[in-house]
Amino acid sequence: MVMVGVYVDDILIAGNNRSLINEVKGYIEYHFKIKDLGPVKTMLGINISHNVLDGLLTIDQSTMIKQIVEEIQPYNDALISSPLG
């Protein structure tokens, strides 16, 4: 099985068959200019880590959550109390 995720100009190719992944990558490379950045670490604000020992993937959005909190912080600092609560 091979999955291809595309978002604008980012492509993520994943699967359980290395030769099939290379075949899909070669097909895309034949038709488009691409750059292989190696194993995925982050995509669309999602952190992805791969444990080589057990083969498990871990995904989290902690970076995106921190960014959102930092963006809304000025609004929290600007809050004032009022008689209406």
Please indicate, yes or no, whether residues 13 and 43 belong to a single structural domain of this protein. no
| CA 3/CA 6 separation, integer angstroms | 10
Please indicate, yes or no, whether residues 48 and 85 belong to a single structural domain of this protein. yes
Number of domains in the chain: 2
26 is in which domain, residue-wise? 1-38
| CA 5/CA 7 separation, integer angstroms | 7
pLDDT score for 85: 54
> What average pLDDT does range 54-59 have in this prediction?
86
Q: Is 60 helix (H, G, I), strand (E, B) or coil?
A: strand
Q: Is 2 helix (H, G, I), strand (E, B) or coil?
A: strand
Please indicate, yes or no, whether residues 18 and 8 belong to a single structural domain of this protein. yes
pLDDT score for 4: 93
| Residue 35: both structure tokens together | 């750059």
pLDDT band at 76 (very low <50, low <70, confident <90, very high): low
In tens, the pLDDT along 18-45 reads 999 999 999 999 999 999 998 888 888 8
pLDDT band at 78 (very low <50, low <70, confident <90, very high): low
Burial of 43: CB neighbours in 10 Å, binned 0-12, 13-18, 19+:
middle
Is the pLDDT at 75 greater than 70, yes or no?
Answer: no
